[in-house]
């Protein structure tokens, strides 16, 4: 982290629900062209961090700075849909596609803001002006590009709700990418995937990191995915950061092992190792 300005800097982020501190004094950074994983046991506050970042929750305290091309933006002050317009895209733990719209339509809706401008807020679109036709053609082309990237090129015209589970997860990633984000937040993208699908997902995420060179934030329980592709891992437990570093450093951190396995297990593990 020698760079002066990380893509995303979270400083002393705190989120309280009544007396419960879901996230406490959390600070971390995420860079462009890097995968930052946020891991931790169930209930550690990972999804709450995402909900703060994407504006679904207003944090109790703290600062979240997104360094966009147009200068820094402080996410804690901005409405959720405007944060998305700044280039923060996300997926959801429980998939949230538009099930009764086709796969392609899901990806076109993701490009709403650009198309809305091109259609002059529907006026140009109503009269079918060439300006809107061009924008629509570009939108379909981008959607098609991402359908190919996630392996759904032949499923474009079926209802999103009719796709198998793993394909729905990939489609959600494609939909987020169609917003042309600078930060992609993935909430457990490998949940419910089989090992082969998990490996494909890892490939896809590495491709996004190296091809689009955007920042990827990843919440994940599947350690084969996390340890395989993360450049940087942040570990939470009870809403607080207990470790932060490369995958190897975090894996050997005694605090992390304790959080995941409990005190007793460590002594027995030590015996095994010894």
Partner 1 sequence: MAARLDRARAPDLPGAAKEAFLAAIVAFVLALPIIGLGTYDRGGGRLAVEPRWDWVAIGVAAVFGGRLLMALTRPARRAAGGRRSWVDRAGRALRPIQPYIALAGLLFAFVLPFMPFSNRYVMDIGTQLLIYVMLGWGLNIVVGLAGLLDLGYVAFYAVGAYSYALAAQYLELSFWVALPIAGALAAVFGVLLGFPVLRLRGDYLAIVTLGFGEMIRIVLVNWYPVTNGPDGLSGIPRPSFFGLPFAASAPEGGNSFHTFFGLPYVPEHRVIFLYFLILVLALITNLFTLRIRRLPVGRAWEALREDEIACRSLGINPTTTKLSAFAIGAAFAGFAGSFFATRQGFISPESFTFIESATILAIVVLGGMGSQMGVVIAAVVLVVLPELIREFAEFRMLVFGGAMVLIMIWRPHGLIAFREPTVHLAAWRRARAKP
Residues that bind partner 1 (CB under 8 A): 54-56, 80-82, 84-85, 89-90, 92, 96-102, 104-105, 108-110, 112-113, 115-116, 119, 121-122, 125-126, 137, 140, 143-144, 147, 156-157, 175-176, 179
* Half-sphere CA count of 169, side-chain side, radius 13 A: 20
**Residue with Cβ nearer partner 1 (41 or 80):** 80
Of the two residues 119 and 198, which places its CB atom closer to partner 1 in the complex?
119
Q: Which is nearer to partner 1, 92 or 238 (CB)?
A: 92
- b/e map of 198-234 (b: 16 or more CB within 10 Å)? bebbbebbeebbeebebbbbbbbebeebbbebbebbb
How near is the Cβ of 142 to partner 1 at its closest, in Å? 12
Nearest distance from residue 189's CB to partner 1, in Å? 14
- Spatial separation of the C-alpha atoms in residues 55 and 207, rounded to whole Å: 27
Please report how close the Cβ of residue 102 comes to partner 1 at its closest, in angstroms: 4
Distance CA 142, CA 254 (A): 45
Comparing CB distances to partner 1, the nearer of 105 and 197 is 105
For the bound state, the minimum distance from the C-beta of residue 104 to partner 1, rounded and expressed in Å, comes to 5
């Amino acid at each position: 982290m020698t760079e002066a300005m990380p893509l995303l800097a979270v400083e002393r982020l705190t989120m309280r629900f009544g007396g419960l501190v879901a996230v406490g004094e959390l600070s971390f950074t995420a860079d462009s062209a890097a995968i930052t994983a946020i891991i931790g046991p169930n209930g550690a506050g990972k999804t709450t961090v995402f909900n703060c970042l994407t504006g679904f929750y207003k944090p109790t305290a703290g600062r979240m700075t997104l360094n966009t091309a147009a200068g820094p933006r402080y996410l804690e002050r901005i409405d959720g849909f405007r944060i998305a317009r700044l280039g923060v895209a996300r997926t959801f733990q429980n998939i949230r596609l538009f099930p009764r719209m086709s796969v392609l339509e899901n990806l076109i809706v993701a490009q709403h803001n650009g198309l809305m401008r091109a259609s002059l807020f529907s006026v140009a679109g109503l009269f079918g002006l060439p300006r809107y036709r061009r924008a629509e053609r570009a939108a379909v082309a981008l959607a098609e590009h991402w359908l190919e990237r996630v392996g759904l090129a032949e499923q474009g015209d079926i209802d999103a709700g009719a796709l198998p589970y793993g394909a729905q997860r990939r489609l959600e990633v494609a939909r987020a990418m169609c917003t042309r984000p600078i930060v992609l937040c993935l909430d457990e993208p490998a949940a419910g995937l089989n090992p082969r699908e998990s490996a494909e997902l890892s490939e896809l995420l590495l491709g996004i990191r190296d091809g689009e060179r955007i920042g990827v934030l990843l919440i994940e329980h599947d350690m084969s995915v996390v340890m395989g592709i993360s450049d940087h891992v942040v570990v939470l437990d009870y809403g607080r950061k207990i470790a932060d570093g490369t995958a190897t450093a975090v894996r050997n951190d005694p605090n992390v092992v304790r959080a995941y396995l409990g005190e007793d297990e460590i002594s027995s593990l030590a015996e095994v190792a010894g």
